[in-house]
Structure 1
C-alpha cells in the first residue's frame, strides 16, 4: 500500500490562520469593551437619576419671605428650619437694581431665626447705610443669606404691602397673608444645616 502524500501547507494558510486568530481576539476585546462601556453608562444613568430625584425631593431651603410695614418700620420674616440661622439680609431697589441697605449677623435670636427689622442698625453686628430712605422704592428686592447652603429672596411691591390688611404677627407674601408660624411651618426641612 502506497502512502499518500499530503502536499505541504502553503505559507498563506498559516498567515490566514494567524489573521483569523487576531481578528477573533480583536472581536472578543471589542465585545468585552462594549459590554463594560454599556454597564458603565447604565450605572452612570442610574446615579444621575438618583442624584436628581434626591436633589428635587430634598429641598435645601424654604424660600418663602413675608413683609409687613407699620408706619416707618419695615419688617421681614423668612421661613426657615429651626436649626438655620440668618447671616445677612440685603435690600435692593427692585427697579434700579441698586443696594439700598444691608444688615450682617443679626444680634437677637429672633433675628437669627428669620424675623428681620430692616434699617435697624442696632439689631445687627454691622449695617449700611445707617438710615432708612425718606421714601421707599416702589419695589424692594429682599435677599436673606443663610450661609453657603441656601438663601431666600423675594421682590415686594411696596404699595401692595402697605395696602394689605395685616393682622398682628402676619406678613404679606407672594402666596397671600401668612403668620410667622405658617412661614416656619415647613413639613420637611431637608438637609439644611446650621452654620
Structure 2
C-alpha cells in the first residue's frame, strides 16, 4: 500500500550562519510547500564518447564484425545527484522561514509570514552570509529523504540529503504583491565533518 511521502514539499536547513552578527551561529530552516521538484543524476564516465583515445584503443576488444560506433563507458561513480526545486512563497504563510518560525515577529534571522521581498532577502542573506560546502553542508529533506522515509537510517545520518546550493533565484512582480517565485539547485555533497561514518565506526 502506497503512502504519501513524509515531507510534503521540501525543507532546506542552512546551519552555522551568524545571521545577526552577534558571534553566535544561527540555523535557518526554510519550508517550501508550493513546489515543483526535479531529480536527476548527471553521470560522468571515466571512459565515454566516440572521440576519446581510450575508446579507440578499447575498440579492439569488440568482437569481429561488431559495430565500432558503439561507445565504451566506465562508470566510477562520478557526477552529481541533483534536486532542482521551484517554489512559490506568499505573505502570511505560517511555514518556517528562518531560525524561529515565529510569524508574529520579524528578526534579522527570521521572516516567517512576512512580505515577499523580505522573505526573498532572508533566504538570500543566509546563503550569502553563510558558507555552504562539504565542511558545512545544508540539509535537504524532500519526499522519502527524511525522518520516517523509506531510506531513513538516522544512525548513518541519512534522514536527509547533505547538499550545496547553486543558482538560487527569486522573482517578485508588483502586479502580484502578495507572492513571489523562487528556484534553487541542490547538489548532494559529502559531509566532511564526519571523521568516519557510523557503519565504518562499527567495523572496528
Q: Could you state the TM-score of these two structures normalised by the residue count of structure 1?
A: 0.28
Q: Highest CA radius of gyration, 1 or 2?
A: 1
Which has a greater percent of strand? 2
Which has a greater percent of helix? 1
